Amino acid sequence: MAAKPVGMANKGPSFGLSRQVQDKIDSKYDTELEQILVEWISRQCGTCVGRPEPGKTGFQAWLKDGCVLSELINSLFSGDKPVKKIQGSSMAFKQMEQISQFLSAAEKYGVTKTDMFQTVDLWEGKDLAAVQRTLSALGSLAITKDEGTYNGDPNWFFKKAQENKRDFSDEQLKAGKGVIGLQMGSNKGASQGGMSYGRPRQIL
């Protein structure tokens, strides 16, 4: 009988498709962005949050109990703070609860659901790139809102695009409409009168 391949002895995400998926997710983690985020959070929250060991593992360990994240989101609100209680704990469910409080406060601040990481992405280290995405979105919002609570280099994050709409002149907006027409194909002389699809269905 042939011996089992050595790789088969590994369990869970260490082999096969799930390992490939995890490697792909890990490859999206950005070490340069990590440095920016660490610098921003340290400036935003002050010395109370300390600094992590460099690298993905250090970054995860720093944020894992949710306290640093809660300090960060609270620092962006000038009035009532959204996270009322920030308390470090070694208990898993308490840490996850603290992360959840950060996530709901970030949503309240304006981070969209598509930019939001899941608690397990951080706590279990499943997708730290998603954590980076959420924090980048938060930084962008803080700069865009310009409420005087952002503490960092304005070049670290992009301003949200919708804020620039009011800067377009009427001519630019008209020119933009022409571009859309070309992308969609010519719409000159088109009307619903010429469209026959769907009619038989209406008769039935």
Token couple for 180 = 């859309």
What is the average pLDDT across 117-121? 96
CA distance 58 to 5: 34
8-state DSSP, 3: P
Better-predicted residue by pLDDT, 168 or 146: 146
Q: Give the integer Cα–Cα distance in Å for 164 and 126.
A: 35
Please report the pLDDT score of residue 184 as a whole number: 53
pLDDT at 170: 66
* Per-residue pLDDT band at 135 (split at 50, 70, 90): very high
Q: Of 11-20, 92-101, 145-154, 178-187, where does the model show the most confidence?
A: 92-101
Query: What's the pLDDT band for 8 if we cut at 50, 70, 90?
Result: very low
Question: How many CB atoms lie under 10 A from the CB of residue 36?
Answer: 19
Q: Can you tell me whether residue 40 is helix, strand or coil?
A: helix
Helix (H, G, I), strand (E, B) or coil at 150: coil
Handedness of CA 104, 130, 140, 171 (dihedral sign): negative
The stretch 15-36 carries a mean pLDDT of 81
Over residues 10-31, the mean pLDDT reads 69
In angstroms, the CA 136 to CA 159 distance is: 11
Average pLDDT, the chain: 81
Output the CA–CA distances (angstroms, integers) from residue 60 to 1, 88, 111, 172, 204, in the order listed: 44, 15, 20, 45, 60
Domain ranges in the chain? 14-161
Q: What is the pLDDT of residues 56-111, one digit of tens each?
A: 999 999 999 999 999 999 999 988 999 999 999 999 999 999 999 999 999 999 99
Tell me the pLDDT tens digit for each residue of 151-174.
999 999 988 764 444 555 666 656
Runs of H (alpha helix) within the chain? 16-27, 31-45, 56-63, 67-75, 92-109, 119-123, 128-145, 170-184, 199-203
pLDDT exceeds cutoff 70 at 201: no
- Residue 32: exposure state from Cβ atoms within 10 A (0-12, 13-18, ≥19): exposed
CA atoms of 163 and 142, how far apart (whole Å): 12
At 83, give phi and psi (nearest 5°): -100, 105
Domain 14-161 of CATH type 1.10.3480.10: no
For residue 12, the model assigns a pLDDT of 43
- Tell me how far apart the alpha carbons of residues 72 and 99 are, in angstroms, rounded to a whole number: 12
The span from the CA of 193 to the CA of 162, in Å, is 36
pLDDT of residue 173: 59
Whether 190 has a pLDDT exceeding 70, the answer reads no
- The model's pTM is 0.69
